[in-house]
A and B are shown apart, each in its own frame.
Chain A
Amino acid sequence: MELAVQIGLNAVIAGAIYALVALGFNLIYSTARFFDVGYGALAVVGGYTMLYVYKTLELPFALAIVLAVTFAGALGWVIERFVYRPLRSQKASPTVLLVASIGVLTVVQATVAILFTSEFKTLSRDVGATRVFEIFGGVITEVQVIILFVALAIMSTLGLVLKYTLFGKAIRAIADDEEVARIVGIPSRRLIGIVFFIGSAIGAVAGIAVGFDTGLQPTVGLALLLGGVIAAIIGGVGNIWGGVAGAFLLAIIENVGVWTFSGEWKSTVAFAVLILVLLFKPRGLFEK
């Protein structure tokens, strides 16, 4: 019983972080229509900016978060403006954009490693001071509870914004067909830029969450991204709620996998799930 509860809690924590990554990824994918691998690097940028402003400059927590998230968002916008937008206007195929985004991931990751070294860093100022809650014999820390609520808050806000605001409607129109959207007068270029800003900012929140919960390394971006992408795909790409459901499902399967087999097979389990889902439900488990 205790064991099952703890495994469940571990899955919820991992799932919340995957869900954040999947949210931003889905948002970007559904408007720009390509797999943005570079997005993983922006989560890392968020985490490391937080490290710099919060631990090195010792700014207050709230201000530090705002700065880190804004910086990562702005960087996401800049990359869109100078790499992806020119490619889109050349009518490049999604694969070209994907390869370019692999380049973006590599460049950003290397830059972070040059600036901050490859060492493992944690964001908490005092590692031992975390408060711990006990639920039915399982434990969850204060930080993890906060992460969970932040993830839920961002999900609901994004879901509501996309559904009910004019901005959301415009985004969905672009997602359906960018050409048509532009013809009816939607400023698609500017909106896609904003989408990249928001998506990257959400990614940055995920990076900061990981930094507080476990710790940061420049290479953590790819692992985060793969978790988020797999979650998004098994939930149905471009489907905001599906991605969230997929994230928790993936986390549960991964943790049960580690429990029944062994930790060595964690990433294998994740990819095996991805391939199976794609084979039998190519449009995701939670297709609209």
Chain B
Amino acid sequence: MNKSVWVILILLVLLVGGGWLIFNKDDSSGAKATGPIEIGFIGPLTGDAASLGAPSKAAVEVAVDEVNAAGGVGGRQLHVTYEDGQCNAQAATNAASKLINQGGVVAIIGGLCSTETAAFGPMAMQANIPVISYGSSAPSLSQMGALFSRDYPSDAGQGTFGAEYMYNALGARKVAVIYHISDYGTGIKNVFIERFKELGGEIVAEEGAEQTATDYRTQLTKIKAAKPDYIYSPLYPAGATAMFKQAKEMNIATKFLGGDALSDTKLQADVKSLGLNIMFTQIKSDIPAEFNSKIAAKTGGTQVPVYSATAYDVVYLLSNALKTADSGQALGTAIRATNYDGVSGHIQFDQNGDVAGSGYTVYKFENGSATLVE
């Protein structure tokens, strides 16, 4: 028996050690000035959030190919190593540790989930590696440090905008909230409720559900009984599909306002026949149709989430910054100085590394897709 244990151990050591030797080779410092510039990417490539992570990865690949085809940065090519953060704290730190210590990267693009970024961020800060997230929206990330930036806005912005739009433009005074208990749903909901009460509105019901829940009936029953003017629904697409269907079945005619997760095109097509009145908020961006078809061609899918555009822009703003600084603090400062018009909109960072943002827009579900309201 003991023999097979040793065989397994030795195999493991060989596998890890061998991989380490192979991937560690290009770390020799002499080649650095002319060799490729190493960059890391972290996002959920597996698991439930992979449907968002995979198109983001594809967008980075497209952008890197374009930059390299145009001669790279100062004559050097960009080389990106893609690691899976699994939307999980421990996996994200493993990925970052490998990138920083084995990959010798000068910057990390990622993560997508706030959990990933919150977990590996401090490790990167400590190693003096700038991090640019393309999708993490938790407000607390603003305190990460001088080397952290994100071109995807904090939920604080979206929740505040949602509350103001609800109160001022839609004239709602009594609002019910149904949300997913997650960094995204809970985060947006907290900001929304705080701002909406500040404005003088009333929250008549506040109902949470697990992210994997498929039965929203009792929550909806309570909401229906509270007779709200509007229902605010920061939900993920899967749960939203089930929730909208059940709302329709329960004859809830109240209008919905959701967050940017409702920009999912499959959801819009799925709930088309329900005839509900659904709107959602999203960062103002004029993503050109040709960009979406370019990414869709790369992934072979049909859905291009907004994270693709922000991830694509990160590559360009990073390569601009790399023209003036090599690495470390200088690179971080150069990234913070970004002033760039990308596919996701105009990008400029404030003192916390949050994208100043060009504001938010509102879309409405119509005939299986979404149209701009304002």
| Nearest CB of chain A from residue B230's CB, rounded to whole Å | 19
- Using a Cβ–Cβ cut-off of 8 Å, how many residues does chain A contribute to the interface with B? 35
Question: 1/0 contact trace for A202-237 toward B, CB 8 Å?
Answer: 000000001000110101100100000000000000
**Which chain A residue lies CB-closest to B250?**
A139
Q: Report if A179 contacts B (CB, 8 A).
A: no
Name the interface residues of B187-202: CB closer than 8 Å to any CB of A: none
A119–B218 contact, CB under 8 A?
Answer: no
Q: Which of B203-244 contact A (CB under 8 A)?
A: 206-210, 212-219, 221-222, 224-225, 237-239, 241-242
Cβ of B219: which chain A residues have Cβ within 8 Å of it?
Answer: 258, 263
User: Which one of B106-114, B134-142, B271-279 is at the interface?
Assistant: B271-279
- Whether the Cβ atoms of A119 and B274 lie closer than 8 Å is no
Question: Is B248 close to A, CB under 8 A?
Answer: yes
CB distance from A142 to the nearest CB of B (A): 10
Chain A residue at minimum C-beta to C-beta distance from B225 = A3
**Counting chain A CB atoms within 10 Å of each CB, which of B48, B206, B249 scores highest?**
B249
Q: What residues on B are CB-neighbors of A215 within 8 Å?
A: 214, 238, 241-242
> Which B residues are CB-close (under 8 A) to A255?
218
**Distance in Å from the Cβ of A249 to the closest Cβ of chain B?**
16
Please report which residues of chain B, range 255-310, place their CB below 8 angstroms from some CB of chain A when the two chains form the complex: 266, 270-275
Contacts of B209 in A (CB 8 A): 263-264
A264 vs B189: C-alpha distance when bound (angstroms)? 14
What chain B residues lie within 8 Å of A122 (beta carbons)?
Answer: 241-242, 245, 270
Contact count A vs B, C-beta below 8 Å: 94
Q: Are A214 and B208 in contact (CB under 8 A)?
A: no
In the bound assembly, the distance between CA atoms of A267 and B209 in angstroms comes to 10
| Complex CA distance for A118 and B246, rounded to whole angstroms | 21
Using a CB–CB cutoff of 8 Å, the interface residues on chain A facing chain B are 2-3, 6-7, 10, 13-14, 117-120, 122, 126-130, 132, 139, 141, 210, 214-215, 217, 219-220, 223, 255, 258-259, 262-264, 266-267
Q: A119-B266, A262-B207 are in contact. List 20 more A-B contacts (CB 8 A).
A: A2-B225, A3-B221, A3-B225, A6-B224, A10-B221, A118-B48, A120-B238, A120-B239, A120-B241, A120-B242, A126-B273, A127-B245, A127-B274, A139-B249, A214-B242, A215-B214, A217-B212, A259-B221, A259-B222, A263-B210
14 contacts between A and B (CB under 8 A): A3-B222, A6-B221, A7-B221, A118-B47, A118-B51, A122-B242, A139-B249, A141-B249, A217-B238, A255-B218, A258-B222, A259-B222, A264-B208, A266-B213
